[in-house]
């Protein structure tokens, strides 16, 4: 083999090695979190390791549609994760623990399944005591039927009810409000000299007195971002995914226990007084924290803070009561 | 206009005769090609941000159809990296022309395949899957790799560049349209070839390989099957090979009589029209059908696609020329008159390509800096926003291309009709009708 042939072969082989090797090396050194619709794999990787107080740099990209990224129970703005683009984000965790990150864009029917965890290790300087949520201490059965046997003829008005809140047989404390359903409060008022409709108005007033305009506004925002896709903007259980969920439910439930479970696949209608007025805030807290267990309802306990959940619950009751502006 | 012999220029002559400039281009092309395969396989699945889609289907396609084919004919084939690894293995050398015996099996391609029907089929296969192929990086990566391996495989079994000559899905139409290009490789003096002993341009010699395209340069009358590899310039002992600048469409004066080439003209004409309707048109149903490969809607789309190309377009054409009675059989008249559709088809493709190339060209800068969609910014252009280019001149440029194509086709029809001694009117009417449909589809 002559010199020029030998050199040419060296060039060709070097070129081929470079064309294959260089991108592979850089590819493996660019850690990227890929977002895909849950049906196609969700987040990859979906477990990320981090250290307390050490900034965690993440690069995110979407392989299909627009997604969003946020970490539950963390004070941060969600970022968009766009197809073909790379979003950089830096997070710092104060406390060790397992955090949940999730998609914040309604990317598809199984949007809520797009979750992953960040395992933050290290020691906390300030360990906080953990108390069980209210529904646990009240020992509530989250799956028991809770229909109100009586419902108001028209939407109860907190404005009318406010004038009738003297001499109540119970206090209007937060503890009472959280532990009792509106129907329970309505029943507790039965020995007073109020008409049925007045009693409902008083209940509406008690429910409003246990929230603030700020809480309602916060609850409304959380609801619009996280709940309206299924439960609908007006709470009627008719969100953009509702029909698809019902269809998917029918298909998946055919092998399971039948029609009753099938019903569970339809998002709950918050405008339905029978269901809503029979549910206490503590019960709703449990349902939101734990999720629907096999229905389409995700568990939010790892994402919302306790305060956010109470704000959300206060807002959900506003589908039943006419509150003072 | 007379021909101008470019190889008289000593700089051009030595650049073509030397193997080094070509090898340098080959290496760059091969590196780019392998990188495109890899980008398709490991890069972002988002086509508009993946090197494989952006550089193959936008940048390369734009250069091919808007520049290389119209102005340089098979100029792309001269630098195409696909046959190289196979050819190097076949020769047992990268650079030096050898006194070696051919390696591997070195069989002759069976006669029944020595036409462009396989290329017609391979083009149609890609065309039917194009909506997915053109938008899905890993499919593009797989297809590019498959072509590379097919070329290597064929090189080890058959002699010369069997892949380029008989299978390459792009090579078929490049060859057809290269007849319109103002560049040609021809011999200078026929008598020299007649008396030349051993015909080293075809059989090879110490100075170079026998024509990789299985063409005897002495018999070249049109560009269709000359790959411009320049090997004969190196092997000709009599300095009898020239590269000429010539008038556009010089080869079309002598119409082809081959059915495979005639149908190639219909395939290209028809697929440009179908793409204009399906990919650029407002009909979502067609797009869905074309994209959902394997669905029943896609099968209907595939059947309609093939029917337009093999039945409707040639059918109306045949119907039009039925009454152009003369002594030549209909088949021969069909093939000869279809020559008129070659410039028309080329300009259809130019007009169609202008719209998606100008619309998507801004992705090229972004993909250059971030070829795998991993958030790199190699040249600082990764965040270039998508912006359609030259939108104001798009419609006039497309109209110009189509009207120009029609005029070109009419002139070609007149020559071809004159050659087979029939009226050119039916072909002109046919060209006018399909051009009007294409104008309606694009504008």
Residues A92 and A153 in one domain: no
Residues B185 and B291 in one domain: no
Q: Both tokens of residue A285?
A: 């807290």
Tell me the nearest-neighbour CA distance from B31 into chain A, angstroms: 5
**With contact defined as beta carbons under 8 Å apart, do B296 and B284 qualify?**
no
Residue of A nearest to B95 (CA): A5
Which chain A residues have a beta carbon less than 8 Å from that of B372?
A: 23, 26-27
Looking at the complex, does the CB of residue B374 fall below 8 Å from at least one CB of chain A? yes
Q: What percent of chain A has pLDDT over 70?
A: 93
Residues B234 and B276 in one domain: no
Q: How confident is residue A256, by pLDDT bands cut at 50, 70 and 90?
A: very low
pLDDT mean over B100-107: 78
Q: In what order do the strands lie in the sheet with A33-35?
A: A43-44, A33-35, A56-62, A86-91
Residues B248 and B370 in one domain: no
The answer to whether the CB atoms of A62 and B46 lie below 8 A apart is yes
Count the residues in chain B.
443
The answer to whether the CB atoms of B38 and A64 lie below 8 A apart is no
Smallest Cβ–Cβ distance between B96 and the set A5, A24, A30 belongs to A5
- What is the CATH classification number for the domain harbouring A109? 2.60.40.420
Residues A141 and A239 in one domain: yes
pLDDT tens-digit series, residues B270-313: 999 999 999 888 999 999 999 999 999 999 999 999 999 999 99
Residue bearing tokens 């380029």: B164
Looking at the complex, does the CB of residue A85 fall below 8 Å from at least one CB of chain B? yes
Residues A149 and A209 in one domain: yes
Supply the pLDDT for residue A251: 58
Residues B234 and B314 in one domain: no
Residues B239 and B273 in one domain: no
- Out of A121, A142, A167, pick the residue that ends a domain: A121
Q: Where are the beta strands (DSSP E) in chain A?
A: 33-35, 43-44, 47-51, 56-62, 67-71, 79-81, 86-91, 97-102, 115-121
Smallest Cβ–Cβ distance between B31 and the set A8, A15, A88 belongs to A15
pLDDT mean over A143-157: 91
Is the residue at B259 inside a domain? no
Q: Is the pLDDT of residue A263 over 70?
A: no
Residues B228 and B288 in one domain: no
Is the residue at A209 inside a domain? yes
Which chain B residues have a beta carbon less than 8 Å from that of A19?
A: 30-32, 34-35, 38
The answer to whether the CB atoms of B31 and A64 lie below 8 A apart is no
Is the residue at B306 inside a domain? yes
Supply the pLDDT for residue A112: 84
Looking at the complex, does the CB of residue A19 fall below 8 Å from at least one CB of chain B? yes
The tally of domains found in chain A comes to 2
- Out of B226, B254, B282, pick the residue that ends a domain: B254
CA-based nearest residue to A262, from A286, A228, A296 = A296
Return d(Cα A39, Cα A252) in angstroms, integer.
15
Looking at beta carbons, which pairs linking A237-241 to residues 24 or more positions away fall under 8 Å?
Answer: A237/A266, A237/A267, A237/A268, A237/A269, A237/A270, A237/A271, A237/A272, A238/A267, A238/A269, A239/A267, A240/A106, A241/A106, A241/A109, A241/A111, A241/A267, A241/A296
Non-local (6+) Cβ contacts of A18 within 8 A are B31
CB atoms within 10 A of CB B432: 13
Supply the pLDDT for residue B100: 66
Residues A138 and A184 in one domain: yes
Whether cis (ω within 30° of 0) applies to the bond prior to A45 is yes
**With contact defined as beta carbons under 8 Å apart, do A65 and A35 qualify?**
no
The answer to whether the CB atoms of B374 and A15 lie below 8 A apart is no
Is the residue at B263 inside a domain? no
CA atoms within 13 A of residue A66's CA, in its CB half-sphere: 6
pLDDT tens-digit series, residues A31-75: 889 999 988 899 999 999 999 999 999 999 998 899 999 999 888
Q: Which one of A250-259, B28-37, B319-328 scores highest in mean pLDDT? A: B28-37
- Out of A86, A121, A156, pick the residue that ends a domain: A121
- Out of A73, A90, A121, pick the residue that ends a domain: A121
The tally of domains found in chain B comes to 2
Looking at the complex, does the CB of residue A5 fall below 8 Å from at least one CB of chain B? yes
Question: In degrees to the nearest 10, what's the CA dihedral of A262, A293, A65, B378?
Answer: -160
According to DSSP, the β-strands at B183-187 and A56-62 are unpaired
Residues B2 and B86 in one domain: yes
Supply the pLDDT for residue A255: 45
Report the 3 state secondary structure along A9-33. Answer: HHHHHHHHHHHHHHHHHHHHCCCCE
In degrees and rounded to multiples of 5, residue B26 shows phi and psi of -55, -45
According to DSSP, the β-strands at A67-71 and A79-81 are antiparallel
Residues B140 and B275 in one domain: no
* Full residue range of the structural domain in which residue B214 is found: 1-254
Please name every residue paired with A48 in a beta bridge, in sequence order, or none if there are none: A118
Residues B425 and B293 in one domain: yes
CA-based nearest residue to A208, from A325, A307, A308, A287 = A325
Angle value at C-alpha A319, between A164 and A324, nearest 5 degrees: 40
CA distances from A267 to A292, B88, B256 (A): 10, 65, 69
Element (H, E) at A64: none
CA atoms within 13 A of residue A159's CA, in its CB half-sphere: 5
Residues A147 and A175 in one domain: yes
Looking at the complex, does the CB of residue B208 fall below 8 Å from at least one CB of chain A? no
CA distances from A49 to A61, A160, B130, B243, B374 (A): 18, 54, 42, 64, 21
CA-based nearest residue to A325, from A217, A213, A203 = A213
Supply the pLDDT for residue B199: 93
Looking at the complex, does the CB of residue A66 fall below 8 Å from at least one CB of chain B? no
Looking at the complex, does the CB of residue B89 fall below 8 Å from at least one CB of chain A? no
Residues A107 and A251 in one domain: no
Tell me the nearest-neighbour CA distance from B296 into chain A, angstroms: 23
Which chain A residues have a beta carbon less than 8 Å from that of B41?
A: none
| Average pLDDT over all residues of chain A | 88
Is the residue at A25 inside a domain? no
Which chain A residues have a beta carbon less than 8 Å from that of B35?
A: 19, 23
CA atoms within 13 A of residue A142's CA, in its CB half-sphere: 19
What is the interface size between A and B, counted as CB pairs within 8 Å? 82
Residue bearing tokens 């001499």: A167
Tell me the nearest-neighbour CA distance from B165 into chain A, angstroms: 24
Residues B279 and B159 in one domain: no
Angle value at C-alpha B263, between B260 and B268, nearest 5 degrees: 125
Ranges of H-type helices in B338-390? 341-360, 362-369
Please name every residue paired with A118 in a beta bridge, in sequence order, or none if there are none: A48, A99
- Out of B197, B226, B254, pick the residue that ends a domain: B254
Is the residue at B179 inside a domain? yes
Q: Is the pLDDT of residue B334 over 80?
A: yes
Angle value at C-alpha B334, between B330 and B338, nearest 5 degrees: 170
Is the residue at B357 inside a domain? yes
Looking at the complex, does the CB of residue A63 fall below 8 Å from at least one CB of chain B? yes
Smallest Cβ–Cβ distance between A63 and the set B27, B42, B44 belongs to B44
Is the residue at B261 inside a domain? no
Non-local (6+) Cβ contacts of B59 within 8 A are B364
Angle value at C-alpha A182, between A181 and A187, nearest 5 degrees: 95
pLDDT mean over A222-227: 93
Return d(Cα B257, Cα B320) in angstroms, integer.
18
Q: Is the pLDDT of residue A262 over 60?
A: no
The answer to whether the CB atoms of B30 and A19 lie below 8 A apart is yes
Q: Both tokens of residue A168?
A: 């109540």
Looking at the complex, does the CB of residue B404 fall below 8 Å from at least one CB of chain A? no
Residues A185 and A307 in one domain: yes
Is the residue at A229 inside a domain? yes
**With contact defined as beta carbons under 8 Å apart, do A264 and A294 qualify?**
yes
Residues A207 and A80 in one domain: no
Smallest Cβ–Cβ distance between B374 and the set A4, A8, A86 belongs to A86
The answer to whether the CB atoms of B44 and A30 lie below 8 A apart is no
Q: Is the pLDDT of residue A292 over 70?
A: yes
Please name every residue paired with A47 in a beta bridge, in sequence order, or none if there are none: A117
Q: Is the pLDDT of residue A274 over 90?
A: yes
Residues B326 and B186 in one domain: no
The answer to whether the CB atoms of A12 and B30 lie below 8 A apart is yes
Return d(Cα A217, Cα A215) in angstroms, integer.
5
* Full residue range of the structural domain in which residue A302 is found: 134-317
Return d(Cα A76, Cα A22) in angstroms, integer.
37
- Out of B228, B254, B280, pick the residue that ends a domain: B254
Return d(Cα B175, Cα B364) in angstroms, integer.
27
The answer to whether the CB atoms of B88 and A12 lie below 8 A apart is yes
Is the residue at A7 inside a domain? no
Looking at the complex, does the CB of residue B393 fall below 8 Å from at least one CB of chain A? no
Supply the pLDDT for residue B27: 96
Residues A95 and A176 in one domain: no
Is the residue at B411 inside a domain? yes
Supply the pLDDT for residue B217: 95
Supply the pLDDT for residue B105: 86
The answer to whether the CB atoms of B38 and A4 lie below 8 A apart is no
Looking at the complex, does the CB of residue B34 fall below 8 Å from at least one CB of chain A? yes
Return d(Cα B443, Cα B441) in angstroms, integer.
6
Return d(Cα B295, Cα B279) in angstroms, integer.
18
Residues A89 and A197 in one domain: no
Residues A140 and A114 in one domain: no
Interface test with B, best of A2, A7, A15 (most B CBs within 10 A): A15
pLDDT tens-digit series, residues A63-105: 889 999 999 988 888 999 998 888 989 999 988 999 999 999 9
Residues B165 and B305 in one domain: no
CA-based nearest residue to B152, from B19, B18, B34, B32 = B34
Is the residue at B338 inside a domain? yes
Residues A111 and A201 in one domain: no
């Amino acid at each position: 083999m002559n010199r020029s042939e030998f050199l040419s072969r060296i060039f060709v082989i070097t070129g081929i090695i470079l064309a294959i090797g260089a991108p592979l090396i850089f590819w493996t050194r660019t850690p990227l979190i890929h977002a895909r619709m849950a049906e196609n794999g969700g987040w990859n990787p979906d477990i990320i390791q981090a250290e307390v107080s050490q900034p965690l740099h993440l690069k995110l990209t979407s392989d299909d549609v627009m997604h969003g990224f946020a970490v539950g129970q963390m004070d941060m703005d969600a970022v968009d994760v766009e197809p073909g683009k790379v979003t950089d984000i830096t997070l710092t965790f104060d406390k060790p623990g397992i955090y949940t990150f999730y998609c914040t864009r309604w990317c598809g029917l199984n949007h809520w399944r797009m979750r992953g965890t960040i395992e933050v290790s290290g020691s906390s300087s300030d360990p906080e005591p953990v108390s069980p949520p209210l529904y646990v201490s009240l020992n509530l059965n989250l799956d028991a039927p809770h229909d109100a046997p009586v419902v108001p003829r028209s939407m109860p008005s907190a404005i009318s009810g406010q004038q009738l809140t003297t001499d109540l047989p119970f206090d209007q404390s937060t503890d009472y409000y959280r532990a009792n359903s509106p129907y329970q409060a309505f029943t507790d008022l039965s020995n007073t000299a109020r008409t049925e409709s007045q009693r409902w108005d008083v209940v509406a007033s008690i429910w409003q007195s246990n929230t603030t305009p700020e809480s309602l506004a916060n609850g409304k925002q959380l609801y619009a971002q996280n709940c309206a896709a299924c439960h609908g903007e007006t709470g009627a259980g008719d969100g953009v995914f509702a029909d698809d969920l019902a269809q998917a439910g029918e298909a998946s439930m055919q092998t399971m226990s039948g029609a009753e479970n099938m019903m569970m696949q339809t998002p709950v209608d918050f405008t339905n007084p029978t269901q809503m007025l029979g549910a206490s805030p503590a019960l709703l807290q449990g349902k939101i924290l734990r999720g629907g267990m096999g229905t389409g309802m995700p568990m939010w306990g790892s994402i919302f803070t306790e305060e956010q959940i109470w704000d959300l619950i206060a807002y959900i009751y506003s589908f039943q009561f006419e509150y003072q502006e | 206009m007379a021909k101008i012999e470019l190889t008289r220029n000593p700089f051009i002559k030595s650049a073509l005769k030397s193997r080094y400039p070509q090898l340098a281009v080959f290496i760059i092309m091969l590196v780019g090609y392998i990188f495109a395969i890899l980008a398709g396989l490991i890069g972002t699945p988002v086509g508009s941000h993946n090197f494989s889609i952006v550089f193959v289907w936008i940048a390369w396609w734009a250069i091919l159809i808007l520049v290389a084919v119209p102005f340089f004919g098979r100029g792309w084939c001269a630098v195409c990296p696909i046959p190289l690894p196979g050819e190097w293995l076949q020769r047992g050398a990268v650079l030096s022309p050898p006194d070696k015996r051919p390696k591997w099996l070195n069989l002759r391609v069976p006669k029944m395949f020595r036409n462009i029907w396989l290329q017609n089929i391979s083009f149609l296969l890609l065309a039917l899957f194009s909506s997915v192929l053109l938008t899905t990086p890993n499919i593009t990566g797989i297809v590019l790799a498959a072509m590379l391996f097919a070329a290597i495989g064929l090189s080890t079994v058959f002699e010369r560049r069997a892949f380029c000559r008989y299978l390459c899905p792009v090579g078929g139409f490049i060859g057809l349209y290269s007849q319109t290009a103002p560049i040609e490789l021809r011999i200078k003096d026929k008598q020299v070839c007649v008396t030349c002993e051993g015909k080293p341009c075809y059989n090879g010699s110490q100075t170079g390989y026998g024509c990789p395209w299985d063409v005897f340069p002495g018999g070249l009358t049109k560009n269709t099957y000359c790959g411009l590899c320049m090997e004969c310039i190196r092997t000709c002992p009599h300095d009898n090979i020239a590269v000429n600048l010539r008038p556009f469409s010089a080869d079309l004066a002598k119409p082809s009589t081959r059915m495979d080439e005639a149908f190639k003209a219909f395939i290209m004409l028809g697929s440009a029209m179908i793409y204009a309707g399906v990919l650029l048109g407002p009909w979502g149903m067609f797009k869905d059908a074309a994209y959902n490969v394997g669905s029943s809607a896609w099968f209907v789309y595939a059947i309609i696609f093939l029917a337009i190309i093999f039945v409707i377009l040639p059918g109306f054409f045949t119907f039009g020329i039925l009454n152009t009675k003369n002594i030549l059989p209909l088949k021969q008249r069909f093939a000869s008159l279809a020559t008129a559709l070659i410039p028309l088809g080329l300009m259809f493709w130019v007009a169609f390509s202008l719209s998606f190339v100008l619309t998507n060209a801004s992705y090229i800068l972004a993909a250059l800096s971030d070829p795998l969609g991993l958030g790199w910014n190699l040249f600082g252009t990764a965040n270039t926003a998508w912006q359609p280019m030259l939108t104001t001149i798009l419609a006039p440029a497309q109209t110009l291309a189509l009207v120009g194509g029609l005029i070109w086709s009419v002139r070609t029809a007149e020559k071809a009709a004159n050659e087979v001694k029939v009226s050119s009117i039916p072909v002109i009417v046919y060209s006018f009708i399909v051009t009007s449909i294409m104008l309606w589809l694009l504008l």
